[in-house]
Amino acid sequence: MMVHLMRRNRLQDWMKREGLDLAIVTHPANVFYLTGFYCNPHERFLGIVVPAKGESTLIVPALEKEAATAKSQMNVDSHSDTEMAADVLHTVIERTYANPQTVGIEKASMSVARYEEISARVGGSYQDIEPALLQMRQCKDETEVSIMRKAAKLADLAVEAAVSAIEVGKTEVEIVQAIEAAIKAHGGERAAFETIVLSGEKSALPHGVPGTRKIASGDIVLVDLGVVVEGYCSDITRTFVVGEASPEQRAIYDTVLQANEAAIAAVKPGIAASEIDRAARDVIARSGYAEYFIHRVGHGLGIDVHEFPSLHGANTTPLVTGMTFTIEPGIYLPGTGGVRIEDDVLVVDGGVEVLTKFPKELMILPA
């Protein structure tokens, strides 16, 4: 596809500037970004060989060749389970750029074993190209933004399905099931991660696992879900109370909501990522819950559900138009319960567009 060829061209321009002869890209999300073909190769080899100049080659497991060719419309080479992927890779490299002096690899995702296997056969010095790829990916183009709007819309609809499903006596996994059915019914490819529904004191576990706990009156119910649409993720959290909310539940909810809104209001091009984290953290600290907000305020979102930029207190990277990330402050009181409110946002000229639109005022669901 045209857009993928353009992305490979941008990578090649960058490689020329950096003096790289060859790049070997193997992270499935980066391969998808550069080719339009996505696959999880499990322990098999998947990768693209990109020379600084000229045509790239996609290498896939044999059983993916047909699909890869159709999707990428580029050179595709394949290897069967009995062939050594390293041999095929070596042959492609020989053909593409014999004896490269400088080779780019993704150091954060390539394994030590793969690196030792490749570097034993292909000489040259090895440099990390992963930061450059992640940087390319963090600013979305128009096509990507329009897909991410769709993914966020489906996340809203899935939260709506959760609200309809939540009911005293139902288990957390039953709510998960209703959410995942809604995701499929609305045309989502799949959940972007294991859907989280946590009730009562379990809502204080930020990445707890839904189980057979039955929802009771007075429970907090925290719902964290994401939807993949055309390879891009959304990620939303809403927190509800069933029956009647206690004063403490209201207090932490209001604080988290204010923190969410303060962080969103702070988003604009040029501001440091750390400032967004601080905007939320200040609100929570002023309410006396500082020690119960135990994670960063958000993370980049796109092909991966966690990508650049990371919105934490030590990241001074300035925000740039086209970045998409989550804003998700939370307060977790061990043994009592937790509240998190998460939106997906896009940095636009002069401010922010909030992609997720499900209402955020405290909803008390009937007991």
Among positions 274-303, residues that touch its own copies (CB under 8 A) are: 294-296
| 244 neighbors 328 (Cβ within 8 angstroms) | no
| 237 neighbors 343 (Cβ within 8 angstroms) | no
Task: Say whether residue 320 binds its own copies (CB under 8 A).
Answer: no
Task: Say whether residue 80 binds its own copies (CB under 8 A).
Answer: yes
Decide whether 149 or 299 has the Cβ nearer to its own copies: 299
In the stretch 240-279, what mask flags binding to its own copies with x, by CB under 8 A? ----------------------------------------
Q: Name residues whose C-beta falls within 8 Å of residue 366's C-beta, 6 or more positions apart in sequence.
A: 242, 243
Task: Tokens 């600290």: give the residue.
Answer: 285
Cis geometry, peptide bond prior to residue 210 (ω within 30 degrees of 0): no
Quickly list H helices, 298-365. Answer: none
| 143 neighbors 3 (Cβ within 8 angstroms) | yes
How near is the Cβ of 235 to its own copies at its closest, in Å? 12
Q: In the set 208, 226, 309, 337, which binds its own copies (CB under 8 A)?
A: 208
Burial 154-171 (b: 16+ CB within 10 A, else e): bbbbbbebbbebbeeebb
| Backbone torsions φ then ψ of 276, nearest 5 degrees | -70, -45
Choices 102-110, 232-240, 247-255, 341-349 (CB under 8 A): range interacting with its own copies: 102-110
| 172 neighbors 257 (Cβ within 8 angstroms) | no
Tell me, by CB under 8 A, how many residues bind its own copies: 55
Q: In the set 22, 23, 64, 227, which binds its own copies (CB under 8 A)?
A: 64
Residues at the interface with its own copies (CB under 8 A) = 39, 42-43, 61-64, 66-67, 80-82, 105, 107-116, 126, 128, 130, 173-174, 176-177, 180-181, 184-185, 187, 189-190, 194, 205-209, 212, 294-296, 305-306, 310, 312-314, 332, 334
